[in-house]
Chain A
Amino acid sequence: MSDPSSSDAVKSAGWLGRLTAGLRKSSAKLTGGIGDLFTKRKLDGAALEELEELLITSDLGTAMAARLTANLAKTRFGKDVTSEEIRTAFAADIETTLTPVAVPLEIDAGKKPFVILVVGVNGAGKTTTIGKMAKQFRDEGRSVTLAAGDTFRAAAVEQLKVWGQRAGVPVIARETGADAAGLAYDALNEAKGRGDDILMVDTAGRLQNKDALMDELAKVVRVMGKQDETAPHAVLLVLDATVGQNAHSQVEVFRDVSGVTGLVMTKLDGTAKGGVVIALAERFGLPVHYLGVGEGVDDLRPFTAEGFAKGLLGLS
């Protein structure tokens, strides 16, 4: 994972540092715990239980934690093991689970524009993610338009406009309180007319148990389909790394309502582990496209199975 496109070499070194530092910090307890448990020790029932609990503290969930420890026990039960061995074994297992979902977002150049709808709960980081993605697409030489579909939250439109300026892309917006579906429809029309490569549509944050708001989201998807049957071509669900087991409900409901095609996990530069993504990969099999590791324009990185697994377990 190198970053040749970044204009700022220092910053570029920074993001990798931040990702590793962030994940390492987040894994410090996990790996520290494993280290304490196993300088070299017999892998017995009690040891397995403690390992399982350590995995749970990384938000992997009880079922995934049980599975990983069971897999470990299969080959190593009763043997003397070191903490390094355990970490390597877990990382390999996690990598295997994540590899099928570590798929980059493919932009179909045949679609003009390729429509990307971004959805998620409040405060997940949708607008920031759109800003970063828009900048990357611009740097690749694609023409991008942003649609400020969060017509509910105060100053959400202004927030996206700032990102539009930073990325040097136009932002289609209406006043707060306007109909989001109508805006999406018009934005698609406009982007089509201009022959844009990509249209990114922001949406208001919504909790997945609010039926009325989810209906509104379904309508956004529906009306865009009236302009172009195949639109939106990608629907990205943005998940906050601090989220716990509620992520399951988020993925399930947003997928059913808006046809989510891929995930983005944000805020991995903090202490949160985002371990739930492993359980999500197994249960839903949805691609994970990006990781967010900071607030800067360049702090959005492709998701890699190996990088995530090793980072989580503190292996370099």
Chain B
Amino acid sequence: MFDGLSQKLGSVFDALTRRGALKEDDVRAAMREVRVALLEADVALPVVKEFIEKATEQAVGEQVIRSVTPGQMVVKIVHDCLVEMLGGEDEAASELNLNATPPVPILMVGLQGSGKTTTTAKIARHLQTKAKKRVLMASLDIYRPAAMEQLATLGQQADVITLPIVEGEKPVAIAKRAMDEGRRGGFDVVLLDTAGRTTIDQALMDEVTQVRDAVSPVETLLVADAMTGQDAVATATAFQEKVGITGIALTRVDGDARGGAALSMRAVTGVPIKVMGVGEKTDAIEAFHAERIAGRILGMGDVVSLVEKATENVDEEEAERLAKRMMQGQFDLNDLLSQLRQLQKMGDMKGLLGMLPGVGKMAKQIKDADVDPKMIKRQEAILLSMTPRERTQPAVIKASRKKRIAAGSGTSVPDVNRLLKQYQQMAGVMKKMKKKGLAGLFSGGGIPGAGLQGGLPGGGLPGGLPPGVPYRGR
């Protein structure tokens, strides 16, 4: 979601980094661009002003002018300011606080449609599978039709127990019953999902404060949509003042909103962003890391997330086998097939590309180039239409075999040719690798483990797309 902002700042600093020396005027010009970019990214105006002031103050000065690469210095200052604004590097603060006598109550609040119920289920599942806690969920939403059924269904999907629904029961009574059940059933955590409410609806705001007083939640999380505009400030401030929040759960971070709301809400409430929703499934939740998000904003890529995603999804043994074959220069079409499948597992292509360093500012070019995730499917089909011999000895594939392969995979001969050409390029890289060794090719990448090498080989990064990434025909 921060790609747009990265792009904007990326182009601003492109101009800046190319200059030898940096004058105050340059910084101010860049900051004006930063200001517009932040506003267009829905960062709230007061927050933007504060940010620009702080960043300008730090950027203009001797320190910058004397440094070897002034542009880089400004980028670093803007980056550091963003990290600070997003909550600093204190990652402990962004963890859910479960330090209390079980059952620990967690209260979920927010506007209508911000994603409270889904986020409740995601957190419950996360705590249950990763933190090995026994979790009970209860819906206090007696207003929206089928809201309670929604949580119950999500509970079944995520294998989390939900409090049985009692018709006509009021929210405070449900909350108390949930806590009783939590104690009796030996649960570690009780998650209370509440109805969506506008902050000016006094009756509903009173209701949620009554629930708060009845259960004394250890965590009260404001669930907020990453697409939120300037209203983020009003909403966050109101929930903070009237209910008191301990953290923010940012949802729909997988969308293409620039996500300025995250910055705004963090800045005006002072509470940390604790989790991010990144998809529709109940496991699509991630911890919030200020450092990483700031890096993404500035187009520095999010290598840590990529590595984590890679290690979670990539079959390590297979990756190691591939890496070994690559080192020996024995890369054949079977290996390419296996690699394409690994790449598919790693998820949405666009999400993946956005994480690669240096790709942020290339995003537009990539969009224009029309990298198509379906292409991977098609390439897989081409490979599967080959005989085992063709896959191990690609050299035997001549015109008539190409025709057969194209017909078998529902593609065309040029498609087959393109794939073979890609393969040859990759095989070329592998040969080089055999000569120089892995270290030479991946030096400075900071990418540990064979997992990623298996998934994304080729020396094409970050200057260009990896050779394995297919392009849709123009």
Where the two chains meet, the residues of A that have a C-beta atom closer than 8 Å to any C-beta of B are 21-22, 25-26, 29, 53, 56-59, 61-62, 121-125, 128, 152-156, 158-159, 161-163, 176, 207-211, 240-246, 249, 267, 269-273, 276, 295
**A271–B235 CB distance below 8 A:** yes
| Binding stretch for chain A, among B249-257, B389-397, B444-452 | B249-257
Distance, CA A56 to CA B45, complexed state (A): 8
Please name 27 pairs of A and B residues whose Cβ atoms are closer than 8 Å in the assembled complex, sorted by A: A22-B198, A26-B234, A56-B230, A121-B227, A121-B252, A122-B113, A122-B115, A128-B144, A152-B280, A153-B150, A154-B157, A158-B149, A159-B146, A159-B150, A161-B146, A208-B255, A240-B113, A242-B232, A242-B235, A243-B228, A244-B228, A244-B229, A244-B231, A244-B232, A245-B42, A267-B113, A270-B199
Since A154-B149, A267-B198, A271-B198 are in contact, a sample of 19 more A-B pairs with Cβ atoms closer than 8 Å, ordered by chain A residue number, is: A53-B45, A56-B230, A57-B44, A62-B40, A122-B252, A123-B112, A123-B115, A159-B146, A161-B145, A241-B231, A243-B228, A244-B42, A246-B255, A246-B257, A269-B200, A271-B200, A271-B235, A295-B143, A295-B144
| A246: B residues at CB distance < 8 A | 42, 227, 229, 255-258
Whole-angstrom distance between the Cβ of A57 and the nearest chain B Cβ: 5
- Interface pairs A-B: 6 shortest CB-CB: A244-B229, A123-B113, A162-B145, A270-B198, A244-B42, A154-B153
CB contact under 8 A between A155 and B153, given known A56-B45, A62-B40, A163-B145: yes
> Does chain A have a CB within 8 A of B41?
yes
Cross-chain contact of B39 among A62, A163, A208, A271 (Cβ < 8 A): A62
Whole-angstrom distance between the Cβ of B204 and the nearest chain A Cβ: 10
CB contact under 8 A between A57 and B230, given known A155-B149, A162-B146, A245-B40: yes
Distance, CA A21 to CA B350, complexed state (A): 43
Whole-angstrom distance between the Cβ of B234 and the nearest chain A Cβ: 4
Whole-angstrom distance between the Cβ of B142 and the nearest chain A Cβ: 12
Q: Is the interface of B mostly helix, strand, loop or mixed?
A: loop
> Does chain A have a CB within 8 A of B172?
no
Count of chain B residues with a beta carbon within 8 Å of a chain A beta carbon: 50
Among residues of B, the one whose C-beta sits closest to the C-beta of A63 is B40
Whole-angstrom distance between the Cβ of A203 and the nearest chain B Cβ: 14
**A59–B198 CB distance below 8 A:** no
CB contact under 8 A between A207 and B255, given known A58-B230, A121-B227, A271-B200: yes
| B39: A residues at CB distance < 8 A | 56, 62
**A249–B229 CB distance below 8 A:** no
| A249: B residues at CB distance < 8 A | 256-257
Whole-angstrom distance between the Cβ of B237 and the nearest chain A Cβ: 9
Where the two chains meet, the residues of B that have a C-beta atom closer than 8 Å to any C-beta of A are 36, 39-42, 44-45, 111-115, 143-147, 149-154, 157, 198-201, 225, 227-232, 234-235, 238, 252, 254-258, 260-261, 280, 348, 350, 373
Whole-angstrom distance between the Cβ of A266 and the nearest chain B Cβ: 8
Distance, CA A295 to CA B113, complexed state (A): 12
Among residues of B, the one whose C-beta sits closest to the C-beta of A131 is B145
Distance, CA A62 to CA B254, complexed state (A): 25
Distance, CA A266 to CA B201, complexed state (A): 16
Distance, CA A59 to CA B42, complexed state (A): 8
Whole-angstrom distance between the Cβ of A163 and the nearest chain B Cβ: 6
Distance, CA A269 to CA B232, complexed state (A): 15
Cross-chain contact of A244 among B115, B154, B261, B280 (Cβ < 8 A): B261
Distance, CA A215 to CA B147, complexed state (A): 28
Whole-angstrom distance between the Cβ of A72 and the nearest chain B Cβ: 19
Distance, CA A158 to CA B149, complexed state (A): 8
Distance, CA A57 to CA B39, complexed state (A): 9
Cross-chain contact of A209 among B150, B235, B238, B255 (Cβ < 8 A): B255
Among residues of B, the one whose C-beta sits closest to the C-beta of A207 is B255
| B115: A residues at CB distance < 8 A | 122-123
Among residues of A, the one whose C-beta sits closest to the C-beta of B46 is A57
Whole-angstrom distance between the Cβ of A237 and the nearest chain B Cβ: 14
| B229: A residues at CB distance < 8 A | 59, 242-246, 272, 276
Distance, CA A272 to CA B201, complexed state (A): 13
Among residues of A, the one whose C-beta sits closest to the C-beta of B237 is A271
CB contact under 8 A between A208 and B256, given known A125-B113, A152-B280, A154-B153: yes
Distance, CA A210 to CA B351, complexed state (A): 10
| A21: B residues at CB distance < 8 A | 200
Whole-angstrom distance between the Cβ of A36 and the nearest chain B Cβ: 15
Of B45, B149, B198, most buried by chain A (CB within 10 Å of CB) is B198
Cross-chain contact of B228 among A154, A161, A242 (Cβ < 8 A): A242
| A22: B residues at CB distance < 8 A | 198, 200
Distance, CA A269 to CA B197, complexed state (A): 10
**B144–A159 CB distance below 8 A:** yes
Distance, CA A272 to CA B280, complexed state (A): 25
Distance, CA A47 to CA B234, complexed state (A): 24
Cross-chain contact of A154 among B42, B112, B150, B254 (Cβ < 8 A): B150
| A156: B residues at CB distance < 8 A | 146, 150
**B373–A211 CB distance below 8 A:** yes
| A210: B residues at CB distance < 8 A | 254, 348
**A158–B146 CB distance below 8 A:** yes
**A242–B145 CB distance below 8 A:** no
